[in-house]
Amino acid sequence: MAMQILGIDPGITGGVAVISATGTRPPVIEDGMRMPVTSHRSKRIVDGVKLNDWLERFDIETAVVEQVNGRPGQAGVFQFGRATGAAEAIAMLHAERMSWVTPPVWKQHFGLSKDKQQSIDEARHRFGNSYCWDKKADNGIAEAALLAQWYLDKRV
């Protein structure tokens, strides 16, 4: 049976991706999407219902969340924290376990910088071409897939 890992690049412009691994075969991308959002009182928030419905299709063993922190005075830090918390809460409903990793740790593992295009290129290298990262704006999906891959690599 395939092990399914959920990666979460949190925030309104982030993404989610599920990869699966079976035996010695390389992991494959099952699906991914940009973080679903909706509006409430002119604020963009994570659409928890849409994220929950999307995750219903999977049997997630572990959810891997990019561990991020806001800095005092940073614009939108409260909004970012709300988005991260919403995604984490929904993931907890579907995953047997949770794991967090900071950007420097997982990006160093893949030799990546802050350049979002590098993340898309690495996801293509690892998982092949996919509709999940057809556009530069899909970098959150690519990073979510790489977060899940990082978890698999570190388990070995």
- Give residue 73's pLDDT: 65
Residue 75 pLDDT exceeds 60: no
The better pLDDT of the pair 67, 70 is held by 67
Residue-wise pLDDT tens digits, 77-86: 777 787 888 8
42 Cβ contact list (under 8 Å, min separation 6)? none
Residue-wise pLDDT tens digits, 13-66: 899 999 999 888 889 999 999 999 988 887 888 899 999 999 999 999 999 999
- Give residue 156's pLDDT: 58
Q: Give the pLDDT band of residue 8 (cuts 50, 70, 90).
A: very high
Query: Could you give phi then psi for residue 142, rounded to 5 degrees?
Result: -60, -45
What does pTM read for this prediction?
0.92
Judge whether 32 and 132 are in contact, CB under 8 Å. Answer: yes
- Which residue is associated with the tokens 């997982």? 106
Q: How far apart are CA 2 and CA 21, in angstroms?
A: 5
Residue-wise pLDDT tens digits, 86-127: 898 999 999 999 999 999 999 999 999 989 999 999 999 999
Specify the 3-state DSSP secondary structure of 113. coil
DSSP-assigned states of every residue in 34-93:
EPPEEEETTEEEE-HHHHHHHHTT--EEEEEEE-----TT-TTHHHHHHHHHHHHHHHHH
